[in-house]
Each structure stands twice: as structure tokens, then as C-alpha cells.
Amino acid sequence: MTLKEKYRSGLKPLVVEEWVDLLIYRPLGFAVALPLSKTPVSPNQITFLSALAGVVGAVFMGLGTYDWLVWGAILYMVSNVLDCSDGQLARMTQRFSRYGRIYDGVADYVVGLATFLGIGIGWQPAGYSALGWWSLVVFGGIVATTYQVMHLNHVRQAYLRAVQNADGSAHVHKGKKKKKSKKRMIFYVPFYILYRTYLAIERSVRRRVHLPLELPEHIRNLPSLRTVLVLWTFTGKGNHVTLLGIFLLMGKPEYYFWFCLVPANLFIFAVLIGHRRVLASIKRKQESSTHESTDSGRRTVRPDGKSDQELAQDPSNGGGQAHPALDAERVADEQRP
């Protein structure tokens, strides 16, 4: 397998990959994961390093000076690179586990929460009261960012599941199951509880944003569906990390909070409307296809390419005359459920 093939094998379907991940974070993550794939380093250890870098960056942001804010922003983006690396390393080495996925998800939200708390503590701009500033941090940062990223996470998983159901897509990886010691399982319990809490919150998103249980190739290649999936990728974590990093380097994190609070939520609302219209269109196509296949199934086609009706009306076969055998067979076909 060539280097390019190894890199592509570690990606999700391109239609649900964020452009900023493809341009920046995935290549850098691959550069980290490739040499580590030949070492005993596990994906969970990379996840721990990712969380550590993010939390240390949050502490730097809380120190309240621009220089520390810049270092915090750098570590925050490094954390996202490592967050890409753990998944790529897992796919390269075929080391997957349910607890690893939970650990990775919880680590992401711990880093996000720590980052916003660090910004809130260390960077209150002039002109904001304490109440106003913390309201902006909570609703524009923690709540809005989590809500927006949650949409892409769910759409991506629903798409991968639907593709797998339709044709057994290789994009859904399954690793070898390993028995966990009781001590390790106890260690993962807090993460599992936090992860289940996140899933409970995500149910509200699932009710609004869903995909068919199966997506055959002719359906998933529809331009309208591909367009709405690409639009969802702009709500993902990679774009939020990059945007916040840029505003932190500018010394204006409040711009990020206002962006998430107003334009980003309006974008979510617009894409949601488009998503529902696309789903309605897919449903009509599937129903139409089902009716056509049902109607065609009622007509028996002979080896010569003619149906029973055409054969009965063909003058060369005594068209217009009674054909008891064909009539009996046709009646039997029509009576089938």
C-alpha cells in the first residue's frame, strides 16, 4: 500500500469530511500517526495527549495576558491535530474499542469546556460586565458550539451507518474486540456516564436531523443530498477550532462567541430546512421506485423478452385468441400477495 493509499484509507467519505480537516488537520495528524503505527503507542494514549494539550492551553488562556492567550491558541489547535491522529492511528493498527470511542468523545468536550472557562476567566473585554461576559461565554461558546458540532457528528454517523446498511461500505471500520480488565473498566465508568449524558442531549438533534436507514449508491450520489451533507461539514469541530484559534490570535475571542450565537445558528437553521426538503425528495423517489418495481413484478417476462400480455396479443402467436394456460398463469400471479 502506497503512502497516499494509507492516508486515504484513514479518511471518512469525503462528502462528510470538513474542508479544514482535509487541508490542515488530517495531513498533520497522519504525519504524527504514521511513525507511531510501528510503536506500542496506543490511540488512547494519543487521546490523552490531545486532552492534556487542550487543558494546558486552557490554563494559559486563563492567565489573562495576550502572550499566554497566543500560546493557549497554539496548544488548542495542536490538541485538534492529535485528536485527528488517534483515529487515524486506530485505523492503521486496527485497534478499536467502544471505550476508546467514548474516551475520545469525552476528551473533546472536556477540552472544549476547559477552553471556554479559561477564556472566560482570563479575558474579559472592556465594556462587558461580569454577567454579560459570562452569559456570552456560556451561550455563545459552550452551548452554541456544542449544539452546532453535535449536528455534524450525528449526520456523519447516520451517513456511515446508512452506507454500510446499503452495501457494506469499507468506511465503517470494525476492530478486534479485546477483553478489558475490571480495573480498566472501572476507570472508564465516569467517561461512560458523561458520554451517555451527551447522547441524551443529542436525542433532540436526532429527532430533527436524520437520514434513511439505507443509502444505495444512486441515492447518495444525488447532487441535492451531497450538497446538504457538505453544508453540514461547515458546522464541525475543525471549523470551530480554526475560527476560535484565529480570533484568539487576534486577541478578540468575543467575536467568536457572537459569530456562534447569531450567524452560525442562522446557518444551522437554513441547512436544517434544506435537509428536510432533501429527505422529502428522497422519500418520494424511494416510494416511486417501490411502486415501479411492484408493478413490473406483476408482469412475467419470457426468455424472448416479451411479457405475457405482449405474447398473447402477438398475431404470430394467435393474438386475440384465447390462451387458457397463459390466462391461468396470469390469474395466479395477480393473486399472489
Domain ranges of the chain: 3-294, 298-335
Kindly report, residue by residue over 219-266, the tens digit of the pLDDT.
Answer: 888 899 999 999 999 999 999 999 999 999 999 999 999 999 999 999
Residues 257-278, mean pLDDT to the nearest whole number: 94
Domain at 3-294: CATH code = 1.20.120.1760
Backbone angles phi, psi at 97, to 5 degrees: -160, 155
- CA 7, 13, 15, 17: dihedral to nearest 10 degrees? -50
Distances (CA, A) of 156 to 137, 171, 264: 27, 11, 19
State the pLDDT confidence band at 14, using cuts at 50, 70 and 90: confident
CB 78 within 8 A of CB 51: no
pLDDT value of position 189: 64
Backbone angles phi, psi at 234, to 5 degrees: -75, -5
Q: Which letter does DSSP use for residue 171 in this model?
A: T
pLDDT at 6 over 90: no
pLDDT value of position 174: 46
**Above pLDDT 90, what percent of the chain?**
38
pLDDT at 177 over 80: no
CA distance 198 to 129: 31
**CA quadruple 206, 194, 230, 211: dihedral positive or negative?**
negative
